[in-house]
Amino acid sequence: MSELDEAGYWNQRHAERSRHMTAAASIRAATHEGKSFAEYRRERYETLQTFARTRRKIYIDTKFWIWLREPQASPHPSAMATLRDKLRDGAFEGRFCCPVSYPMFVEATKIFPLKRRYQHVRAMDELCESVALRNPFDIFELEVLEFFIRNSPSLRNLPLRPDGVWCPDT
């Protein structure tokens, strides 16, 4: 697939997601009238938690992400292609997801040529179901914030996030 085809795929994927998000937002808008941002955010994170709780998580290391992207580069190409297909099917059917870790996200930004990066990100996108692990900087920030909220009477009413591990894949 050429770089133009890859770019077309990502533009089409972005357009589909935008249409889906817009339609979903307009449906949800009526149910969220009068809610504060904190309430809305809490509900969205609860939805994410439910999503993560109801699926088995499969954590894939860098080597396997590469082999899932390019099964022919693995020591056992046919087995890796079969594994990739099974993972795709399981993610699509909602049985599990393969969350993207922050280090894996960072590594993906370093992949060149761009065609290979697009292949890699496409493989990640198909398997992660838009779920990622928070980066360590955000986790640290949230833990410090939680410490101060928990230990300061004047801050106790501030809403805390339900979970610091999962976040929407951006």
Q: How far apart are CA 108 and CA 103, in angstroms?
A: 9
Residue 90 lies in a domain: yes
Residue 23 lies in a domain: no
Residue 17 lies in a domain: no
- Looking at residue 89, its pLDDT comes to 95
Instruction: Please return the burial class of 155, using the count of CB atoms within 10 Å of its CB with bins 0-12, 13-18 and 19+.
Output: exposed
Q: How many domains does the chain have?
A: 1
Residue 22 lies in a domain: no
* Structural domain boundaries, residue 79: 34-168
Residue 8 lies in a domain: no
Residue 81 lies in a domain: yes
Residue 7 lies in a domain: no
Residue 109 lies in a domain: yes
Locate the DSSP E strands across 40-143: 56-57, 96-97, 131-133
- Looking at residue 63, its pLDDT comes to 94
pLDDT, block means (10 residues), the chain with 170 residues:
66 71 65 75 83 92 94 96 96 92 93 94 91 88 86 82 66
